[in-house]
Amino acid sequence: MYEEFGGSSAVKRKAASAPNSAGDFGRALTRARKARRLSQLELAMIAEVSPRHLSFLETGRSRPSRSMLSALVEALTMSEEDEKAFYLAAGFAPPRPQSASDGHYSSTLLGMSLILRSAEPFPAVVFDRFWRIVMMNRPYGAFIEPLSRGYVVLGQAYTLLPEPRLNLIEAMIGSDYYLSRVLSWRETIASELSRVKRDIAIDTDPQRRAWLSRIEVDASSRGLIAGPGAAEHNNDNTPFVPVTMQMGPMEANLINFVMPLHSDGDKDLSGLRIKLYYPADERAERAVRDYTFTN
C-alpha cells in the first residue's frame, strides 16, 4: 500500500539513488501527501504552514528546516520507518529512535509545550542554566525573531530548539533592536542581570561565573549598566522584573518572573526555567493581545 502510493520503500530508494537535493525531498513530500489523499491546501492547514511555502517545498524552490520536517511528519502521521526515510530524503539525520527510557524526556518536552501554549497570548520562554533558549511560544517568537536577526524564527515555536542555542541575556545586551523596543531597557537590563547574579551566587560552577563576568564587561562597555540607579537594581531582590515595551503603536507595561522546571533528574533537561510575561494593567493587556494576533 505505502509502496504503491510512494511510501517508505519508494522514498528510501529515491533518497539512496542520488545526492540529496531540494528536488528529491519535494518529490518525496508530494508522494507522501498523495498517499494520504490530501491536497496541498489540506496538508498546509494541518501542518500550520502557508500553502505557498508548501508548494515551494514540493517544487524544490525551498528546503525544509528540521522543525518543518517534524511538523510535516506529524501532519502526515508517518510511521517510524517512513519518518526516517523522509528525513534522509531532506538531507537530515533521522531523529533518534525512541526507547522506553525516552518516555520521560518526551513527556517533559510535551509538558513544556503545554505550559507555553497556556501562557498565550502573553510571551513565555524556557531556557537552560546558561540562559540559552530551549523552547518558546509564538508571542515570544514574534519578539525574538527580529532581535536574533532570524537566528530563531517564529516557526520554531513549541519545538525543542537545536544547538547551538541563542543566549537570551547575550542577545538582550548586544542588540540595538532590543533597545528600540524595550523602552525601560536600562532598568530592565539592570534587573535581569541582578537576577542572574543572585542565581549564580549560590552556584560553584566556574563556567557560569566566568560567563557572568564576560556579560558584565560587555554590558558595561556598551553603557548599559552605568548611571544613576544601577546600584539600586543590582541589589534588587524582587522576583518581578518590570518591562515597558513598544508594541505596534502602543506602549505596554509588563512584568516577568522566572520559575524552575523540575525534570526529576533528567540530565539533558536539568536546570531549566520558564520566564513568563504578564501585563501590568488593562492597557498593556490590550496592546499584547493586539500585537500577538497580528504577528
The pLDDT assigned to 21 comes to: 53
What does the mean pLDDT of the chain come to?
80
Q: Which comes out higher in pLDDT, residue 150 or 68?
A: 68
Rounded percentage of the chain residues whose pLDDT exceeds 90: 29
- pLDDT surpasses 90 at 123: yes
**152 and 254 inside one domain:** yes
Integer Cα distance of 177 and 174 in angstroms: 9
Residue-wise pLDDT tens digits, 125-135:
999 988 999 99
**225 and 271 inside one domain:** yes
Classify residue 276: in a domain, yes or no: yes
Average of pLDDT values for 52-72?
88
Strand order in the sheet with 250-261: 133-136, 124-127, 272-279, 250-261, 241-247
23-27, 122-126, 196-200: lowest mean pLDDT where?
Answer: 23-27
Cβ pair 66, 162 in contact under 8 A? yes
- pLDDT surpasses 80 at 94: no
- pLDDT surpasses 70 at 62: yes
Rounded percentage of the chain residues whose pLDDT exceeds 70: 80
The pLDDT assigned to 102 comes to: 53
Integer Cα distance of 105 and 226 in angstroms: 42
Residue-wise pLDDT tens digits, 176-201:
889 999 999 999 999 999 999 888 88
Average of pLDDT values for 43-58?
88
Average of pLDDT values for 250-258?
93
Range of the domain at 265: 102-293
Residue 261 pairs with which residues in a beta bridge? Answer: 272
CATH label of the domain that carries residue 156: 3.30.450
Residue-wise pLDDT tens digits, 237-249:
678 899 999 988 8
In 3-state terms, what secondary structure has residue 159?
Answer: coil
Cβ pair 169, 192 in contact under 8 A? yes
Average of pLDDT values for 11-26?
52
* Cis amide bond preceding 164, omega within 30: yes
Q: How confident is the model at residue 277 (pLDDT cuts 50, 70, 90)?
A: very high
**77 and 109 inside one domain:** no
Integer Cα distance of 276 and 119 in angstroms: 7
Q: Which comes out higher in pLDDT, residue 188 or 17?
A: 188
**74 and 159 inside one domain:** no
The pLDDT assigned to 206 comes to: 87
- pLDDT surpasses 80 at 171: yes
Classify residue 97: in a domain, yes or no: no
Classify residue 94: in a domain, yes or no: no
Domain boundary among 58, 89, 120: 89
